[in-house]
Amino acid sequence: MIDSPATKRNSEALPALPPTSDDLGPDRSLRRPFLNRELSRLSFNARVLAQALDPRVPLLERLKFLAISSSNLDEFFEIRVSRLQQQVAYGVSANSLDGLGPQEVLDRIAEEVQRLVAEQYRVLQQVLLPELAREGIVLVAPEHWSAAQTDWAQEYFRSNVLPILTPIGLDPAHPFPNVQNKNLILVVSLDGADAFGRRSGIAIVQVPRVLPRVLRVPQVGDGKTRALVLLSSMVQRFVGELFPGMAVTGCVPFRITRDSDLFVAEEETDDLLEAMKGELTRRNDGDAVRIEVGEGCTPELAKFLLSEFELDSVDLYRCPGPVNLHRLAALADLAERPDLRWPPLVPRLPKALQGKALESKGSIFNVLRQQSLVLHQPYDSAAPVIEMLRQAASDPDVLAIKQTLYRTGPSSPFVKALVQAARAGKDVTAVVELRARFDEADNISLATELQDAGANVVYGVVGHKTHAKMLLIVRREAGKVRRYAHLGTGNYHPATARLYTDISLLTADELLTEDVHQLFLTLTGLGSVRHLERLLQSPFTMHIEILRRIEHETALAKAGLRGRIVAKMNALTEPGIIRALYRASQMGVQIDLIIRGICCLVPGVPGLSENVRVRSIVGRFLEHARVWWFGASDTLYCSSADWMERNLHRRVEAAFPIDDKELRRRVRLECLEAPLEDTLGSWLLQPDGSWRPARDLPGAEPFSVQEALLRGEIRTQDNQEENLVFQDELPLR
């Protein structure tokens, strides 16, 4: 660890960090007080699936939560399970924090996923489809098609599907074809001989990806019922037309999930962009890690498929319904029932950027010279961020623009503005992270577009993903240079800005903008660790400063004063921080953690963590903001970093303070205080690793923090201020 001058200065006011140890208590049962990371991730997916059963959630949104739980499982197998299988294959015996070895974790995963898959299909078949049918939205199986629906389906199949299909009969001249990642495949059993007298009896048919997987049947009768069919069902129903003169005796769908993690030896490549392009072509052809089979799969067929893909029986998952539930998300749009969706979101604008207020200032830069702005997305519009960049692109006084791009999506307005600025002759630098998982292709495309426009494009630092969200604008004003910055917890992505909760800071503060400038110099140039006045950065100062601030609260409590920590993030897995939180709890520090997904800390254990409470909020919006508050100094940081090993040690991250008192109070209120009151979307982590709905607690009053924020209302208890705010009893310099 390299200490910056700021770190060394702070260390004078903070206690020295104690040595780390797994032995945090006299009870030997506490020697490994950690929850398993992978099982914790699966628990989060179960909480997502639970939204599909919540009657307060609009019906079509409940269907989408089911689809999300399916796509989450896909990624879990593509990345996490594939790594564990590799560890087993190569004889890696290293245990996880909770003491489980790779094979033990895989066994536990198989048990949990089998239960989760069974629950997914129960929710679909017994809850959602019947409720949709009562609303006149019917997913019609082929055996229930009317004569008119059958005629339409057959005509669609012959006109749009049949010309694309390529059946492959298996024989010595036609071996099993290469099955790409997550493609839906049909195994067709046949009786009879073909034109050449062959009687192999089995063929493979791939359901085309280029066609929509859910189709709406033209209206018939009263026109009130919306009938929909699955493309896979249509292909199964008419697959016999591919094999004239032969009888179809069986047709079973299956899907393979493959290892999708990319590997590029960055130190050994001269051109990361070209190396990533080459690696992307391998994503669909990685090792198989899971096979899903539809109804009708016999033990013999299952054994054949497992052998073909070199998988074990534990890797097979039977689907009592459509294979790949993620495809059902399209049904929500095809139903055309806005009354069964979330009400439209109308984000707010800060008063300083509304109508006449902005007209009087002339530009967003004039506003920011007078005050910093905080946006809490999606309740606040993300438009000011893109508007600041657009104004900069066309402003003759803007000299340079620098921006990090991690996930920004295709046809990004941010990229368009950067291209416009580069073509206008401004000095544009884009730090594009090519290794943003599953967005690599989009990022390669935008990097090429920016290079063609004349922008400086760099790919960050070898060995460290650039995950910090920063935008810096350099402007000439009154004969001198002034900087403006945006710092955020979320991506520069217009779609997720309406779906994820995030914090944005727009500022002209000289210390902060100078720090952002120094971070960009670190990313694009060479040199030693640069001194930052206000920002924390990974991999240099962030981890050590978080530990020091936790230990400061611990020292307060040990001295008989009050210690308090409230932190919100996506995941908590970093063992050093978890141990520090345990020590703080043992000294009496009151700790509340709002963790959306993975949590390896065990709360509520007597003698260890009885002063730690952990909750997860799952609702309409994905809780994505990272906000940390340390009570002794009333210091609040926002960041793109979770408290995970990768964020703190293997990524370039930034944590920025909210210095303005009113803005800090607002962020604390909306991101930390109000969520602690939530009962309708909150789950509470128990000492045994299970999650309990907060609504089940005795005396719990119904309150949803997301709904309150949508209405512009936040309710706090009378004693909330006393619980969360107190004087600086031990100043932190």
- What DSSP string runs through 105-161? HHHHHHHHHHHHHHHHHHIIIIIIHHHHHHTTEEE--GGG--HHHHHHHHHHIIIII
Q: What is the dihedral of CA 581, 583, 586, 588, to 10 degrees?
A: -60
Burial of 223 by CB count in 10 Å (0-12 exposed, 13-18 middle, 19+ buried)? exposed
Return all residues near 687 (Cβ < 8 A) that are at least 6 apart.
Answer: 602, 603, 604, 605
* Euclidean distance between CA atoms 642 and 332, whole angstroms: 32
Return all residues near 453 (Cβ < 8 A) that are at least 6 apart.
Answer: 418, 419, 422, 423, 428
How many other CB atoms are there within 10 angstroms of residue 239's CB atom? 20
Beta bridge partners of 168: 204
81 and 106 Cβ atoms separated by less than 8 Å: yes
Query: 467, 543, 552, 624: which one is catalytic?
Result: 467
* Buried/exposed 533-552: b ≥16 CB within 10 Å, e otherwise: ebbbbbbbbbbbbbbbbbbb
Give the SS3 label for residue 245. Answer: coil
Find tokens 């052809």 and name the residue. Answer: 285
- Return phi, psi of residue 568, to 5°: -125, 135
Structure tokens at 14: 């903070």
| Closest to 45 (Cα-Cα) out of 454, 326, 301, 458 | 326
Structure tokens at 316: 């097979």
The Cα-based distances of 598 to 331, 643, 691 in angstroms read: 30, 10, 12
* Euclidean distance between CA atoms 206 and 510, whole angstroms: 59
| Closest to 694 (Cα-Cα) out of 704, 707, 684, 708 | 684
Give the SS3 label for residue 488. Answer: strand
Helices and strands in the chain: count of H runs, count of E runs: 23, 27
Structure tokens at 691: 């999650």
507 and 372 Cβ atoms separated by less than 8 Å: yes
260 and 281 Cβ atoms separated by less than 8 Å: no
Is 467 among the catalytic positions?
yes
Beta bridge partners of 293: 254, 318
* Euclidean distance between CA atoms 45 and 324, whole angstroms: 16
Active site residues: 467
